[in-house]
Amino acid sequence: MDDGFVQDGESWSDWSPWSPCNRQCGRGIQLRYRMCTRDSDGTESDACPGYKRAVKMCCLEACYKTMSIKRDGGEIKEVLVATRQCPAPPGYRPNPPLKKKDKEENKEEEEKKGEEKKEEKKREEEREEKEKEKGEEEKEAGRKEAGGK
């Protein structure tokens, strides 16, 4: 690009700083601009050779979305999946990936589900025990009734 090229009294201004990447994650673009001005009065002109806008690719960390996966046994598990990825520019250091946090949350969720299953099993056993006791009481009452007649 012809920075500062002068022709017939027109010249390019300095480039503006690069804009932020237009995406929150994944691949996007950054822009910068310069103006062609007349030296005599500083008004904008279209006579300068080259482009007034520059574009470059930017790449931020991968985009993620939550997906539901049905496991054997019918239970549904929520997982985090990368949806848009691109190679990071040299020297770029993204935020730490969410994997460790996700693993901790998934572990806590699995433990919670395990506790809920234990509690449900305990309630089911208590219900069965009560039904068994009720059945024995009814049998005993039936025997007493049969013996009393």
Question: How would you classify residue 138: left for phi > 0, otherwise alpha for psi between -120 and 50, otherwise beta?
Answer: alpha
Q: CA triplet 88, 91, 94: central angle to 5 degrees? A: 55
Q: What is the pLDDT of residue 54?
A: 92
What pTM was estimated for this model as a whole? 0.41
Q: What is the pLDDT of residue 2?
A: 46
At 149 the three-state DSSP class reads coil
Residue labelled with tokens 């939550």: 66
What are the angstrom distances between the C-alpha of 66 and each of 3, 63, 102, 103? 46, 11, 11, 14
What are the angstrom distances between the C-alpha of 149 and each of 136, 141, 142, 143, 145? 20, 13, 11, 10, 7
Q: In the chain, count H helices and then E strands.
A: 1, 7
Q: What is the pLDDT of residue 108?
A: 80
Query: What is the CA 1 to chain-centroid distance, rounded?
Result: 38
Digit-by-digit pLDDT tens for the chain (149 residues) are 444 444 556 788 899 999 998 888 778 889 999 988 876 676 777 778 888 899 988 877 777 777 777 777 777 777 767 666 666 555 656 555 555 556 677 778 888 888 888 899 999 999 888 888 888 888 787 777 777 65
Q: Are 44 and 75 in contact (CB under 8 A)?
A: no
Q: What is the pLDDT of residue 89?
A: 54
Q: What is the pLDDT of residue 40?
A: 67
Two tokens, residue 29: 């673009």
